Amino acid sequence: MEHPFAKFVQILGKGKRGVRDLTQEEAHLAMNMILSGQVEPVQLGAFLMLMRVKEESAAEVAGFTQAARELITRPALPTEVNLDWASYAGKRRQLPWYLLSALLLASHNIRVLMHGMVGGSEGRIYIPQALHSLGLKPANSLEEASGQLAQSNFAFIPLSALNSDLDRMLKLKSLLGLRSPIHTVVRMLNPLKAATSIMGIFHPGYDETHQQAASLLGDTNLAVFKGEGGEAERNPDAACKVRLLLEGVAQEEEWPALFPSKHLKDETMDVSKLGKLWNNEIEDEYGKASILGTTAIALRAMGLASSPFEAEVKAENLWETRNRAYLK
């Protein structure tokens, strides 16, 4: 008898004329089978790479994400999470300044859950390394993340602590040599059902895919844009197209570059500069502009500013009134 999952491989592998997208329902069922261990390894590899060649549709991403979200056991939360922040690319040209954006918001009583990779590509800095430089630690479970959120309004949880199967599939890139739809799905997990999500992309077109998939899932507030290094971090040296969902309404905004010329690559990538900039021990025009620009996009996504200009003014005010003691 034919394996039940074979039909999904067939849909994707019938050639240029026969191939079609999975429906959202089919994608949901396929991912449910994958995450419940009903798929053979050879089927999984074929499925992921056929999907990679075709490129995942918004409906497929919505179905995959729905199945993944359903497997997350959420602890009882004393208060709701305001902002879900995906962090999966790592940084290699500039420091992860966006971490200070998240912490800046948290220091002003906006609860931020960040999730992502603890490592991966050689030569890249991931959030756990940056947290360590600030004297902070990742959470080992959603329960621990909930406690950190209650205490400081911020928590970072590795994907491996959210779903080890998704983490294992994400790491297949080193074997297959290509990204897979899992890279899209994990950015949309929103494990604690935050009211707003922010995520960065690197490959063109995936911003629209995320926006449309979020809409299909009934998510109401979102910001997705091509960020520096693929993270949700505004590159102040370049114009930025931000795709938004604001109360469920899809919008697109052009945010201009903040500098007339580009800055050079950070050759040292010294994560200690994060804490030093927070405490006014150093000056870094690129880092500060990146922090404030990213904070502004988050404020816009949360509906706390009615325009990019207002968001940037509010971000500047948050920075000037920050409590430096928040990061000891």
CA atoms of 138 and 124, how far apart (whole Å): 18
The architecture of the domain spanning 83-326 is: 3-Layer(aba) Sandwich (3.40)
Q: pLDDT of 90-110, one tens digit each?
A: 999 999 999 999 999 999 999
CA atoms of 104 and 99, how far apart (whole Å): 8
> pLDDT at position 252, please?
98
Domain boundary assignment for the chain: 6-70, 83-326
> pLDDT at position 202, please?
93
Q: Tokens at residue 146, please?
A: 């909930």
Contact (CB, 8 A) for 258 and 236: yes
Residue 118: partners with Cβ closer than 8 Å, 6 or more residues away: 126, 127, 128, 138, 158, 160
Distances (CA, A) of 90 to 97, 124, 280: 11, 5, 25
Q: pLDDT of 48-63, one tens digit each?
A: 999 999 999 999 999 9
Confidence of residue 121 (pLDDT cuts 50, 70, 90): confident
| CA-based nearest residue to 198, from 223, 234, 172, 230 | 223
Secondary structure of residue 62 in the 3-state scheme: helix
Contact (CB, 8 A) for 130 and 172: no
The architecture of the domain spanning 6-70 is: Up-down Bundle (1.20)
144 phi and psi, to 5 degrees? -65, -40
Confidence of residue 162 (pLDDT cuts 50, 70, 90): very high
Q: pLDDT of 6-51, one tens digit each?
A: 999 999 999 888 899 999 999 999 999 999 999 999 999 999 999 9
- Which of 114-128, 137-151, 234-248 is predicted least confidently? 114-128
Burial of 78 per CB tally in 10 Å (0-12, 13-18, 19+): exposed
Q: What value does the mean pLDDT take over residues 222-244? A: 97
Q: Tokens at residue 91, please?
A: 């940084």
Residue type, 84: D
